[in-house]
């Protein structure tokens, strides 16, 4: 009976919706009449096999993967370009594709790297295959590959709601300059990082009893830096050849200043990252605890972090000759988010099994980045290096009882330890590739995402070049 089972979830009600009979609450049961009103205000503008929400490393790769399997695909992204944290957070490099020169993550993610390299936009740091990149060419390469795959793009569009029958998602509601619009689809992939769609659909999330999450860091581009100096050449690369990637001499001096009573905010690293332009580096050093799913808290912390950017720039200028002429050329479109919601999936990857490289029958991707857990307060970072590449099971992408929803990227089902490695961008791309192929298979076969053939999925991923 439509009247009681059809539900509308809205993140926020627009003025128009607030005046309607539909209550502007998070979840409303709709009568047929109310459903018609919603359609009028949020008309259906596309019907798809697969809708991917979020165009970050997991999202853009999953959209390409699903489209290459013949699905009719749309991708929804709230910014006017793709790349997620790489381009909206100035997070670099893309970590990590290889162990001792051997690829661990292959297929479409690696194709993207090689394409970007051929455009002059990527520098591959062997033996780990950390990828330094030009942020603007990254955006261009992303959009070319998405469009070439035949994916419909909805940029400048935030997903603000979904309509459900029971646990099946019928559509997502997006908001852009046209107003509210509805995208109907057979399968949805949540690649929002924060698990926005899963949250709206009331998928249970991983418990977080102590409320601890990794801090937010606002990255920025510093220009006028002596990138030819010995210090920067030692610190700008992340291949492990020159020791840890954090810039130790700068770190030690800042810690000494702090110990001597200089009033400096907490910091991480610092990491100075190669952006492939002489004189410029992407800086990752600010750090404050933040809840990215709480608008007021995140806005307040972002303002503090912006102050920190300019404070640290002054400190660098005044204390290190390599930075004496530096200036803030650009701040990222938003502060970076390391950790927020993660679903409770059919399987939750635990740190211990991850570190021990436990293999699953449904392993669909891998990861070799260390467990890399930044403290939300202070300057500490807990790090455990992996000796063997870990595995990710398909079940970590699937919420029980939700037949047409997959998640990919940092919101998959893991504990905090496993997440602290799997959150990096190459790993998110590998998982995204699997989610896209799985979604397309579910559509072709007309089955729930829980019932696809994982052996066929794995065969497809291997055909593309995944290392499983």
Ligand X SMILES: Cc1cc2nc3c(=O)[nH]c(=O)nc-3n(C[C@H](O)[C@H](O)[C@H](O)COP(=O)(O)OP(=O)(O)OC[C@H]3O[C@@H](n4cnc5c(N)ncnc54)[C@H](O)[C@@H]3O)c2cc1C
| Residues within the interface to ligand X (CB under 6 A) | 53-59, 76-79, 84-85, 88-89, 91, 93-95, 158-159, 191-194, 196, 217, 219, 284, 336-338, 409-410, 423-425, 428
Would you say 63 and 52 are in contact if contact means Cβ atoms under 8 Å apart?
yes
Quote the least distance from Cβ 446 to ligand X, whole Å.
28
Q: Which is nearer to ligand X, 227 or 292 (CB)?
A: 292
Please state, in angstroms and rounded to a whole number, the distance separating the CA atoms of residues 42 and 442: 27
Q: Looking at beta carbons only, is 75 or 231 nearer to ligand X?
A: 75
Give the dihedral of Cα atoms 150, 59, 345, 201; nearest 10 deg: -80
Q: Which two tokens stand for residue 3?
A: 């009247």
136-171 burial: b if 16+ Cβ within 10 Å, else e: ebbbbbbbebbeebebbbbebbbbbbbbbeeebbbb
Distance between CA 109 and CA 115 in Å, rounded?
10
Cβ-based nearer residue to ligand X, 34 or 81: 81
Nearer to ligand X, 34 or 85 (CB): 85
181/196 with CB nearer ligand X: 196
For ligand X, the closer CB: 54 or 393: 54
Report residue 454 as tokens. 């994982």
Q: Least CB distance from residue 245 to ligand X, whole Å?
A: 8
Whichever of 34 and 205 has its CB closer to ligand X, that residue is: 205
Q: Which two tokens mark 225?
A: 């830096």
Residue 362 token pair: 């449904």
Residue for token digits 């001597």? 260
Residues facing residue 161 across a β-bridge: 10, 173
Nearer to ligand X, 192 or 313 (CB): 192
Closest contact distance (angstroms) between CB of 32 and ligand X is 28
Query: Please, are residues 384 and 35 in contact by the beta-carbon 8 Å criterion?
Result: no
Q: How far is the CB of 2 from ligand X (least distance, A)?
A: 27
Closest distance to ligand X from the beta carbon of 125 (Å) = 12
Where would I find the H helices in 208-247?
A: 230-235
Please write down the HEC assignment for all residues of 168-225.
EEEEEEEEECCEEEEEEEEEEEECCCCCHHHHHCCCCECCCCCCCCCCEECCEEEECC
Three-state secondary structure call for residue 109: helix
DSSP summary character for residue 414: B
Give the nearest distance from C-beta 424 to ligand X in angstroms: 3
- Please name the helix (run of DSSP H) or strand (run of DSSP E) that holds residue 103, with its range, or none: strand 102-103
CB of 60 to ligand X, least distance (A): 8
- Is the preceding omega at residue 127 within 30 degrees of 0, hence cis? yes
Residue with tokens 């455009």: 119
Residue closer to ligand X by CB (options 34, 149) is 149
| Closer by beta carbon to ligand X, 34 or else 134 | 134
Nearest distance in Å: CB 340, ligand X:
9
Query: Cβ of residue 39: shortest distance to ligand X, in angstroms?
Result: 21
User: Taking the CA atoms of the chain, what radius of gyration do you get in angstroms?
Assistant: 22
* Pairing of the two strands 73-76 and 44-53: parallel
Tally of residues, the chain: 468
Q: Between residues 147 and 256, which has the closer beta carbon with respect to ligand X?
A: 147
Q: How far is the CB of 217 from ligand X (least distance, A)?
A: 3
Closest CA to 180 of 43, 347, 5: 43
CA dihedral in degrees (317, 323, 328, 334; nearest 10)? Answer: -100
Token digits of residue 190:
């949540």
Q: In whole angstroms, how close is the CB of 1 to ligand X at the nearest point?
A: 30
């Amino acid at each position: 009976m439509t009247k009681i089972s059809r539900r509308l979830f809205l993140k926020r009600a627009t003025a128009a919706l607030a005046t309607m009979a539909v209550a502007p609450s998070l979840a409303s049961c709709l009568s047929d009449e109310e459903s018609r009103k919603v359609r009028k205000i949020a008309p259906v503008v596309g019907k798809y096999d697969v809708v991917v929400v979020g165009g970050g490393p997991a999202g853009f790769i999953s959209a390409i993967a699903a489209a290459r399997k013949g699905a009719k695909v749309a991708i929804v992204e709230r910014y006017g370009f793709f790349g997620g944290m790489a381009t909206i957070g100035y997070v670099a490099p893309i970590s990590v594709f290889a162990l001792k020169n051997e690829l661990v993550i292959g297929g479409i993610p690696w194709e993207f790297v090689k394409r970007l390299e051929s455009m002059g936009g990527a520098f591959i740091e062997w033996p780990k295959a950390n990828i330094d990149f030009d942020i603007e060419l990254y955006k261009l390469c992303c959009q070319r590959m998405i469009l070439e795959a035949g994916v419909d793009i909805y940029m400048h569009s935030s997903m603000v709601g979904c309509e459900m029958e029971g646990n099946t998602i019928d559509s997502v509601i997006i908001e852009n300059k046209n107003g509210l619009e509805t995208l109907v689809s057979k399968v949805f992939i949540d690649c929002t990082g924060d698990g926005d769609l899963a949250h709206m659909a009331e998928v249970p999330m991983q418990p977080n009893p102590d409320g601890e999450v990794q801090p937010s860091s606002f990255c920025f581009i510093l220009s006028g830096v002596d990138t030819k100096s010995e210090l920067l050449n030692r610190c700008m690369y992340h291949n492990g050849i020159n020791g840890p990637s954090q810039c130790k001499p700068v770190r030690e001096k800042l810690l000494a200043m702090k110990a001597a009573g200089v009033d400096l905010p907490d910091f991480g690293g610092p990491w100075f990252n190669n952006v492939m332009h002489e004189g410029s580096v992407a800086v990752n050093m600010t750090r404050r605890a933040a809840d990215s799913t709480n608008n007021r808290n995140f806005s307040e912390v972002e303002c503090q972090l912006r102050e920190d950017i300019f404070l640290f720039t002054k400190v660098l200028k005044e204390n290190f000759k390599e930075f004496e002429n530096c200036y803030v050329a650009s701040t990222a479109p938003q502060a970076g988010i390391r950790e927020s919601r993660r679903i409770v999936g059919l399987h939750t990857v635990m740190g211990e099994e991850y570190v021990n490289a436990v293999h699953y029958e449904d392993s669909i991707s891998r990861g070799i980045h260390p467990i890399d857990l930044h403290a939300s307060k202070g300057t500490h970072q807990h790090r455990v290096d992996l000796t063997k590449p870990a595995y990710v099971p398909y079940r970590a992408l699937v919420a029980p009882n939700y037949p047409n929803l997959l998640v990919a990227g940092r919101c998959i089902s893991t504990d905090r330890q496993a997440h602290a490695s799997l959150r990096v961008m190459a790993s998110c791309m590998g998982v995204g590739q699997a989610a896209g192929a799985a979604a397309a298979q579910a559509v072709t076969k007309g089955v729930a995402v829980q019932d696809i053939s994982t052996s066929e999925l794995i065969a497809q991923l291997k055909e593309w070049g995944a290392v499983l």
